Every structure is written in C-alpha cells, then in structure tokens.
Amino acid sequence: MKNLFISVLFYLGSSLAALAQCAPDQLDIKGDFGMARFNVEIADTPQSRAVGLMNRENMARSAGMLFVFERAQPVAFWMRNTLIPLDMLFIAADGTVKRIHENAVPLDETSIPGGNGIQYVLEINGGLSRAMGISVGSVVRNPMMDQEKAEWAC
C-alpha cells in the first residue's frame, strides 16, 4: 500500500511538473540550437488574428504572438500597420517549423506566403530566429496546439 501511495504521488508530481512547463502564455521551441521559451500572446479568433501585432512600437526580446488556426491550411501574412520587423515561423499541425520568413519589413503590404498545411504561426522579433539558431525542422509546443498531433506534446 505504501508503494502504491508513493507511486501515485510520483505520478501526480510528474504531471504537475509537466503542466507547469507548458502554459498557454508560454511557447517552447527546440532544435539543434537547444531550447528556448517565449512569452506569447495567443491570436485564435478571426479578430485577434486580423489585428496581430499591429500598431506596437516594440516587443520584448522573449515575447511573441502565436496565431492558432482551426485546421492546417495555406496561410499568408503581411505587415500592414506593423511597426516592428518580425520573423514569422510557419508551423505544421504537429508543431514542426516548416518555413521561416526573416525580418519582415514594417508596414510592407506584400503577401508573405507560409505554404500549405500550416496551422500555427509564431511571430517574434526580426532577426531573432537566425541569432538563436532556430531553423526549419525545429519543434514547438504550447497547450493551445492539438496535443494528439504534436511531435512534442505538453
């Protein structure tokens, strides 16, 4: 009975630790460079995705915005009313980075295609993905992502 109690405590402790590592306002990314964590805002409605990071004069280095779509699909972004340069990481349903657009030009309305099969887009400060070594094939996790499809689940 004592061993069962200890096992239950260990399981609960492990589960709580995993939850503490994976919060809706945090996104983890790992790859050949190691691992990084960003504090993210979630854009998961048509309205919040349309506004995104528009009209902001700055963003903390460790911050970003995660765009969440209902399903994997072709996506394209632009920089209308966006005042800071951004890196856009286009992410498949399983959390794998499929494409990175670096240093999107502020206020540029040219379409930036992410490709097909994209369900998430992470926007971070321009130049940061290259500086950190984030590349195509890196994997992200966040509880807003479909955990059943996730390559790296919470």
Read off φ and ψ for residue 121, nearest 5 degrees.
-135, 130
Domain of 77 in residue numbering reads as 24-141
What's the predicted TM-score (pTM) here? 0.87
Confidence grade of residue 20 (pLDDT, cut at 50, 70, 90):
low
Structure tokens that stand for 17 in this block: 């630790």
pLDDT digits (tens, 9 = 90+) for 84-99: 999 999 999 999 999 9
Residue from 38, 54, 41, 8 nearest 129 by CA? 38
Residue from 64, 69, 60 nearest 41 by CA? 64
Partners of 121 in beta bridges: 67, 90
**What is the chain's Cα-based Rg?**
17
What per-residue confidence (pLDDT) applies to 65?
Answer: 98
Average pLDDT over every residue of 59-67: 98
Structural domains in the chain (count): 1
Does 2 fall in a domain? no
Residue predicted with more confidence, 112 or 13 = 112
Does 153 fall in a domain? no
Task: Say if residues 78 and 67 touch (Cβ distance below 8 Å).
Answer: no
State the Cα–Cα distance between residues 107 and 97, nearest whole angstrom: 25
Does 11 fall in a domain? no
